[in-house]
Amino acid sequence: MVKVFETASRGGEPGAAAGTGIPHTAAPLAGVRVLELGSLIAGPFAGRQMADFGAEVIKIESPSRPDPMREWGRARVHGHTLWWSVQSRGKKCVTLDLKAPRGREIFLELCREADVLLENFRPGTLEHLGLAPEELWKVTPGLIIARVSGYGQTGPDAQKPGYASVAEARGGLRYLNGYPDQAPPRTGISLGDSLASLYALQGILLALYWRDARGGTGQVVDVSLVEACFSLLESAVPDYAAAGVIPGPSESGLKGIAPSNIFRSSDGKWVVIAANQDSVFVRLAAAMGRPELPSDPRYSNHAARGVHQEELESLIAGWAAGYSEPELTSLLDRHSVPNSPVSSIEEIFADPQLRAREMLVEVQDEELGTVVQPGIVPRLTRSAGGIAWSGPLTPGSHNGAIYGGLLGLSDEELQDAKDEGAI
C-alpha cells in the first residue's frame, strides 16, 4: 500500500505512515542522505524516487536562481504549479551559492554528512567551481557522485548542451517513431530526461551496494541522456552490425510483429490489440468467430503473420469496427486477449485498476490543499515507499533545519552566511 507519511507541518520530519503505524525509517533507503544539485527533470526525478523510498534528499538551489521547475507545468493553484509539488515531494530545500567562497565551504560540510551527490550540470561545472570529484573524495571518500548530462562526462561532444528531445534524436528513438516520409514525432513527455534519471537511480543503488556490501569506495555514476535513449533500441545494434538492417518508423505498430496494433471501434475509440504470440492469436481468432485463421499458412505462426501483417491487421480492423469500445474490450477480455483502450489522463483517473493499485494518491498540502500525485513505483511488500510531504513552495525552507540542525551552525553564523550571499 502506498503510504502518505504524516508530518507535523510542511517539510517537517516524517513520522508514522498514516493509519499504519509503520515508521518512515522502515523504508529501504532510510539513513541514506542525498545532496541534489541541478534542476528540472534529468536528475531531480531520481532524487524524487529516492525520497519516495525513505532517503533524506536535500535539494540545493541557488539563492538567486531557484529551480525553473517551480514555474513549469500547465496547472496552477494560488500561483504555484503542481508539477513542482510532485517532483520535489519529500525533499528538504535549502539555498546555497556554490560560487561564493562561504557557500563552497558549507557545501563541503554537507558532503561530509552525505552518501550521494546527484547533479545534472553541464560537464566541467563542478570542476570549474573547485568541486571536482577528486576534491570531494578528500572530504568524504565514500561519496557516490551521480552525474547526468546530455552526452556524458567524456567524448568529443561532452561539452555540448543536451535536452531530452535532442537525446531522443541522437540516441535513435525518434528515427523509429512515426510514419515513413513524415516528420518523426516526439512522445508528449521528456522521455530522454526521465530515462536518464532512472539510469542514474539504478547506478546510485549499484554504487551504494558495492560500497556498503562489498567494501568499495565512492565513485562517479556517469549517465548520458543520449546513451539512455540508445540503450532501448533492442535488436537494432546486432541486426545492423550483422546484416546491415536499418529499422525505420513503424507507424502505430512494430514491423513483423502481428497482430499488435491499434484498431478503431465503432464509437471512434482507439484500442490496442496485442495477439502476436501464437497461442494468443488462437484466442483472438476465436473471439473474432474465425477459428480457422490459425490454420491458414499465412497466419499459422509468428513469422508468417509478420510477412502478411498488413492484410491480417486490415482484417482485424474491419472486425473491430463492428463493436463499440466497451463491447470490443469486454469480448477480448473474455477470450484473454491482451488489449486496452488508449487512455487519456481523464480516463486514467477513472481507471479502477490504477485506483486499486493506489497510483493516484491524495497528498494534503498546507497551501495548495489536496494535491493528487502519482503513486509509488515499484511496490515493495515489506519496505514500502511513501510520500513524506509535497514539494516545499519556498526556496530555502529547510535552511534552518539543515544548516543549524545537521551542520550545527549558530544563528549568528547563519546570518553571516546570508549577509555574504552564500545562502
Q: Which residues have a catalytic role annotated? A: 193
Going 42 to 48 to 53 to 59, the CA torsion angle's sign is positive
Q: Which of 116, 107, 110, 109 is nearest to 211 (CA)?
A: 116
Q: Are 397 and 11 in contact (CB under 8 A)?
A: yes
C-alpha torsion 69→202→52→68, nearest 10 = -10
Q: Is 197 helix (H, G, I), strand (E, B) or coil?
A: helix
Determine which helix (DSSP H) or strand (DSSP E) holds 348, and give its type and residue range.
helix 345-349
Residue 7 grid cell: 508530518
Amino acid residing at 305? R
Distance CA 174, CA 164 (A): 11
What single-letter DSSP state applies at residue 127?
H
CA-to-CA dists, residue 17 to 99, 175, 191, angstroms: 39, 45, 32
Whole-number Å distance between alpha carbons of 111 and 115: 8
Cα–Cα distance measured from residue 290 to residue 10, given in angstroms and rounded to the nearest whole number: 60
Q: Taking the mean position of all CA atoms in its chain, how far away is CA 152? A: 19
Instruction: Please give the grid coordinates belonging to residue 281.
Output: 492469436
CB-based burial label for 181 (10 Å; 0-12, 13-18, 19+) = exposed
DSSP 401: I
Q: Which of 132, 105, 121 is nearest to 220 (CA)?
A: 132
Among 149, 159, 169, 167, smallest CA distance to 223 is for: 149
DSSP run (H or E) holding 117: strand 116-119
